[in-house]
C-alpha cells in the first residue's frame, strides 16, 4: 500500500474515534494539556503501528488499548521520577522505593461537566482498574468485549470489576442519593 492510501485508510478508520479518545484522556488525566498530549501520543503510536492493525477488526478497542497503555506507562514513569526526586532529598528512603512504586495508584480522574462533584470524588476514589472500567462502560458506553480488548483482560474480569466498582460507588454515594431524592432514606 502506498503512503497516501495508508494515510487515507488511517484517517477513515481511526481518526473518527478522536473525540471519544479525548474525552477519556481528559477524564484520566484531569488536564486539557495532558489529555491533548495523551491523545497525540495515542494517534502517533497507532499510525506507526497501522501496518499491524487487522482491517475489519475493532479499531476503537485497539485505539483505547493504546491510549490506556500510554496513560499507564506515563503514570509509572512520573511515579518513578517522583520517587527518584524523593530519594535524592532523603537517601534513606531507598529501602522502600520498590514497594511504594508497586502500591502507587493512578491519579484521580475528574469528569468535569457531566457529573456532580460528589460523583467525581467517588470515581476518583476508586482504584484505577475499577475507575477505567466504569468510565469506559458507563460513560463511553463501550461494550464489555470492547473494554476487555482495550484493557487487555478477559470479559469476565471486566464484568467483575464493573460490578465491584458499581457497588463501591453505590456505598459511597448512598447519602448523596438520599439527599438529592434519587432513593428513599433507609428507615432506622
Q: For the residues 121-128, what does the mean pLDDT come to?
A: 84
Q: Is the pLDDT of residue 148 over 60?
A: yes
pLDDT tens per residue across span 79-105 = 666 666 655 555 555 444 433 333 333
In this prediction, residue 139 carries a pLDDT of 86
Q: Is the pLDDT of residue 51 over 50?
A: yes
Q: For the residues 160-175, what does the mean pLDDT come to?
A: 93
User: Which residue carries 477513515 as its cell?
Assistant: 12
Q: Is the pLDDT of residue 30 over 60?
A: yes
In this prediction, residue 1 carries a pLDDT of 65
Q: Is the pLDDT of residue 124 over 60?
A: yes
Please indicate whether residue 183 or residue 47 has the higher confidence score (pLDDT).
47
Share of the chain above pLDDT 70, in %: 78
In this prediction, residue 75 carries a pLDDT of 67
Q: Which residues contact 53 (CB under 8 A, 6 or more apart)?
A: 13, 46, 59, 62
> Per residue, what are the HEC states of 107-129?
CCCCCCCCCCHHHHHHHHCCCHH
> Per residue, what are the HEC states of the chain?
CCHHHHHHHHHHHCHHHHHHHHHHHHHHHCCHHHHHHHHHHHHHHHHHCHHHCCCCCCHHHHHHHHHHHHHHHHHHHHHHHHHHHHHHHCHHHHHHHHHHHHHCCCCCCCCCCCCCHHHHHHHHCCCHHHHHHHHHHHHCCCCHHHHHHHHCCCHHHHHHHHHHHHHHHHHHHHHHHHHHCCCCCCCC
In this prediction, residue 80 carries a pLDDT of 65
Q: Is the pLDDT of residue 168 over 70?
A: yes
- Helix 59-89 to helix 144-151 angle (10° resolution) is 40
Q: For the residues 34-44, what does the mean pLDDT come to?
A: 92
Range in 38-42, 65-69, 149-153 the model is least confident about: 149-153
Q: For the residues 70-85, what does the mean pLDDT come to?
A: 71
Amino acid at each position: 500500500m502506498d503512503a497516501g492510501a495508508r494515510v487515507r485508510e488511517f484517517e477513515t478508520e481511526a481518526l473518527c474515534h478522536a473525540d471519544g479518545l479525548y474525552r477519556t484522556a481528559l477524564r484520566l488525566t484531569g488536564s486539557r494539556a495532558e489529555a491533548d498530549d495523551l491523545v497525540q501520543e495515542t494517534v502517533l503510536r497507532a499510525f506507526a503501528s497501522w501496518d499491524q492493525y487487522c482491517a475489519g477488526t475493532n479499531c476503537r478497542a485497539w485505539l483505547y488499548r493504546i491510549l490506556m497503555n500510554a496513560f499507564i506507562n506515563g503514570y509509572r514513569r512520573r511515579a518513578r521520577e517522583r520517587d527518584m526526586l524523593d530519594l535524592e532529598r532523603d537517601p534513606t528512603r531507598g529501602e522502600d522505593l520498590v514497594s511504594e512504586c508497586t502500591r502507587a495508584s493512578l491519579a484521580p480522574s475528574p469528569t468535569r461537566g457531566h457529573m456532580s462533584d460528589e460523583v467525581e470524588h467517588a470515581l476518583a476514589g476508586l482504584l484505577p482498574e475499577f475507575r477505567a472500567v466504569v468510565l469506559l462502560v458507563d460513560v463511553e458506553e463501550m461494550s464489555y468485549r470492547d473494554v476487555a480488548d482495550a484493557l487487555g483482560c478477559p470479559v469476565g474480569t471486566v464484568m467483575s470489576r464493573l460490578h465491584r466498582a458499581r457497588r463501591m460507588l453505590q456505598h459511597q454515594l448512598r447519602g448523596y442519593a438520599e439527599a438529592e431524592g434519587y432513593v428513599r432514606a433507609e428507615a432506622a
